[in-house]
Structure 1
Amino acid sequence: MTDYGHDLLFGVILTPDAHTPTGALDLAVLADEAGLDLVTVPDHPYRPDYLEAWTLLTAIATRTTSIRVLPNVANLALRPPALLARAAATLDLLSGGRVELGLGAGGYADAIADEGGPRRTPGESLDALSEAVTVIRGLLTPGQPVNFDGVHHHLRDARPGPAHPHPIGLWLGTVGPRALRLTGRIADGWLPSATRIPPHALADANRVIDDAATAAGRRPADIRRLYNLPGLSGDVSSQLAALTLEHGTGGFLFFVDSPAQIRALATTVAPRTRDLVAEARAQNPPNRERAR
């Protein structure tokens, strides 16, 4: 059993349907008013039936007051990392420190190529993701100009900024063993989907991340574990508590499409899950050498 001891986060994944352009925005406002922690939207820039993710997140941030916003996950094949870093810093500044970054290597190779993006092999995409994290971290970290000469990304005397209020987390949506090792080495968080990493596979995946983190001189608990889950159906508090206590999952994001689901998550599922986890931790506190 592995509990990394993180405070629990609860949030939603909203469909950015271009046919009902204010739908996702209205649900995001409700999630904020209900007291949820995170609102996310998928990033598929090649889909004309979807609103563009970063524009929508900006609109959400301007209409909300406390909920954090992030792409789930940003398609780095179509988003130059230097520009993404500037955009994230800008929105973090404008929103009072409410931006995180979910990052992905970029699937759907044909659609990406059709939009003018690079056609990369899976291995090349993972290398590009690793380089992108270096670029983004460099431009989000105050200090001297950044130089970086990678295969896929480059910086020359690039000055960090704009200055932003809080450290923006880089949460990677990774699946395979090599990608999981990369997460352990460099990421602030892991953001898989249950459709790709089902609950029974979490233990093995976490073990790969933990071993890589330890080998890199990091604590496993330095990587927050989140989980994208299907639409909410009933009270799943006990199942979520088990995921936290057994696999260290510290954040849960649900695909939702109705106000009722958002209210149920905020008023029933989230508080009950927190209570169950608090009760268990009182009996068996997390190992603070691994968790914080």
Structure 2
Amino acid sequence: MTGRVARAMSPRVSVVIPTVGRHTLARAVQSVLDQTYRVAEILVVADTDTPLQLPVDERIVLLRTPPGAGSGPHRQRGIEASTGSVIALLDDDDEWHPDKLRRQLDRVASYSGDQWIASSRTSVIGPGRRRRVWPRRLVGPHESVAEYLFRFTDLRFGGAMLQTSTLCFPAEIARKVRWDDDGDKPHDEPSWLIRVQAAMPELRVIQLPEVLGIYHVGGESLSRSSLDRTDEYLDWGLRHLSGESPRVRGDYLCTSPVSAAVSARSLAGVRRAILTGLRHGRPGPWALGYAVLSAVRILLLRMRSAVSAPAPSPGRKWPS
């Protein structure tokens, strides 16, 4: 059956939601049940054996998997178990607007073939009371995903985004290009999109200008972590962006790994990222500026921590 005929008959949509058992799971599932386009099934793929609070609906299928595999393998597990011709992804802490699926499917209805991925803008909420809409710029239908996502054009994040919970695509795409490649960590979403685009040169990435979802950002990424993941991000960039332009590679190496260093308050991580970006690419001024400002931010965070630290007890030394 061709893609055009399948869509004319109203495609059977399977929604895949990987979860670690967050309390927000019921909210995510309910936003799927509230869709104006009725979905065929909701596959909740859980890497926990604890009881889950879910709405009551015969379309909900609960799959249990061994813990610790990561979101990519859990998505692929749901895709393999699905029966729909179209897959839509949703994270367990995000949610959809009621007309999300209908608008996306209406947009791609005129396309022949099954080489398309639909996305949209999304509301970004958090940390705290922060509210904004991302992305500021939409991707072109045949634009390089790597160029779109990683070439820095200002000092802010959010200019480009293809967030997982906005994605909708023919199931056959994910059966040809799988999500469960362990080498994709820590960026399984963009690396899957890059691999799909490389495997399907005629692929269209369609990003609707409407805001069709809500992306909830917790505060964890802003808190200090004892684990510096800078090298993990550097390794991803060197492996997955080796065929991209020096500007794209350099911009990535001076931004995403730097963000990981900021989370760990690691000046050494920022230094490694800048040196790697200059050695393996040609970062633009915005990416270099972001890296330098991030180093300043770490210094300010360290100073703030030092000022707010309690005074030592008499007769005791400051910890080294």
With the length of structure 2 as denominator, give the TM-score of the two structures: 0.27
Larger radius of gyration: 2
